[in-house]
Amino acid sequence: MNRVLNANKRLVHWFGNQSKTKQLLSPSRDNWSATKAIINNELEAIKSSGVWKSERVITSKQDSHINVEGRTEKVINFCANNYLGLSSNPEVIEAAKDALDKYGSGLSSVRFICGTQDIHKQLESKIAKFHGREDAILFPSCFDANAGLFEALLSAEDAIISDELNHASIIDGIRLSKAQRFRYKHRDMNDLEDILKNNQKARNRLIATDGVFSMDGNVAPLDKIYHLAQKYNAIVFVDECHSTGFFGRTGRGTEEFFNLTGKVDIINSTLGKALGGAAGGYTTGRKELIDLLRQRARPYLFSNSLPPAVVASASKVFDLLTQNSSLTERVERNTIAFRTEMKSFGFNILGDNHPICPVFIGDARLASTFADLMLEWHLCDWIQLSSRSQRKG
């Protein structure tokens, strides 16, 4: 009997502890209330600043003319990164459909386990050939390519010198690295040279820049950057997301624009803009760099492979671009025509004769209101207008 009573006491004690444990583990309304208040304050600050971003819903293919939810008329789309119009190209779409039938919807694996198909290797080979490089490696996005590069390549003995207006993905990628970090004033070669001079003791010096800066449409002075890299024994990294496929004489990007083809050490770019617009990014460069990234780049090692349809559509785009440069030439003509006409109407168009044509309003709230009105006027609707005040180096 005593043993039964003792067992009952132990059960009561156990269940009592379990109840206390559940109370400790259950979500606390008070704790979330504090978090909710913080979030709501942040949201209100965004709204009151006039830079709240609303998502207008497209009900058609991405194209120069699109259908938008809630509207019966088509609107002219000026804000997509679909520079070459290939997001809805019939040949690109057909290639994706064929890949779905032959290779399935996805790999359910990272690349190094069982996530590499022959089409992945073929696309990497086409990318390397297009850029005149030894090898290339695919990532889920160029954001991931930028996140994987610097940490894998550089250590605390090295120095990264970055343009102050580089894209957020470059900034975040650099933060993941243990290398010493420096920023030079936007496109200021004197400032860049001073930083290079002061860091000659670093094991490696890497200069990081966007090829084209997407907020302003201005082009990095790559010829001068390359000259300084040669002078101070540095390597050059360029993010070509807003260049690949449509900038330069044959769409080979900023280095082709400056007649420096093959001179840049590392190029990262995207498949999600001009090159079909689906998804994916890549790094291309020397074989030993790509080999290292396959072993060390965390976004590559721990992300699923790009889906076959995405790979096949991008592969078809590279086929089209290597056949001739007619699409690239058309973009250049359209850019000159649009910039010329807009300026003739008195608009302040920023940038360096690049297809990115920022219409500078000067005030974030006014820019947002102007963009909404553009949609209502259905003339050249839905231009994304931005304020410099939103930017943080």
Residue 248 lies in a domain: yes
Q: Assess whether 211 and 334 both reside in one domain.
A: no
Residue with tokens 């304020």: 387
> Could you report the per-residue pLDDT of 14-70, keeping only the tens digit for each?
555 555 555 555 555 578 999 999 999 999 999 988 778 888 899 999 998 999 888
Q: Assess whether 335 and 307 both reside in one domain.
A: no
Q: Assess whether 130 and 224 both reside in one domain.
A: yes
Q: Assess whether 69 and 127 both reside in one domain.
A: no
Q: Assess whether 165 and 202 both reside in one domain.
A: yes
The model's confidence at residue 7, banded by pLDDT at 50, 70 and 90, is low
Among the candidates 300, 323, 346, a domain finishes at 323
Do 154 and 204 form a contact (C-beta atoms < 8 A)? yes
> Could you report the per-residue pLDDT of 275-298, keeping only the tens digit for each?
998 999 999 999 999 999 999 999
**pLDDT value of position 17:** 59
**pLDDT value of position 14:** 53
CA 168 to chain centre: 8
- CATH number for the domain that contains residue 347: 3.90.1150.10
Mean pLDDT of the chain: 90
> Could you report the per-residue pLDDT of 330-387, keeping only the tens digit for each?
999 999 999 999 999 999 999 998 999 988 888 777 877 887 788 777 654 444 444 4
Residue with tokens 């790999």: 107
Active site residue 214: yes
Do 266 and 289 form a contact (C-beta atoms < 8 A)? yes
Indicate whether 303 pLDDT > 70: yes
Mean pLDDT along residues 131-160: 98
Q: Which of 120, 273, 316, 354 is catalytic?
A: 273
The total of structural domains in the chain comes to 2
Q: Assess whether 171 and 293 both reside in one domain.
A: yes
Among the candidates 293, 308, 323, a domain finishes at 323
Active site residue 273: yes
Q: Assess whether 297 and 372 both reside in one domain.
A: no
Q: Which of 162, 214, 313, 368 is catalytic?
A: 214
Residue 258 lies in a domain: yes
In a 3-state reduction of DSSP, which class is residue 281? strand
Do 206 and 160 form a contact (C-beta atoms < 8 A)? yes
- CATH number for the domain that contains residue 242: 3.40.640.10
Q: Assess whether 289 and 368 both reside in one domain.
A: no
Residue 47 lies in a domain: no
Indicate whether 5 pLDDT > 60: no
Which has the higher per-residue pLDDT, 214 or 225? 225
Q: Assess whether 97 and 63 both reside in one domain.
A: no
Q: Which of 242, 269, 315, 316 is catalytic?
A: 242
Q: Assess whether 185 and 74 both reside in one domain.
A: no
Mean pLDDT along residues 293-320: 98
Residue 341 lies in a domain: yes
Which residues constitute the domain of residue 126?
90-323
Residue 25 lies in a domain: no
Residue 265 lies in a domain: yes
Q: Assess whether 338 and 202 both reside in one domain.
A: no
Q: Assess whether 142 and 272 both reside in one domain.
A: yes
Q: How many residues does the chain have?
A: 393
Residue 13 lies in a domain: no
Residue 206 lies in a domain: yes
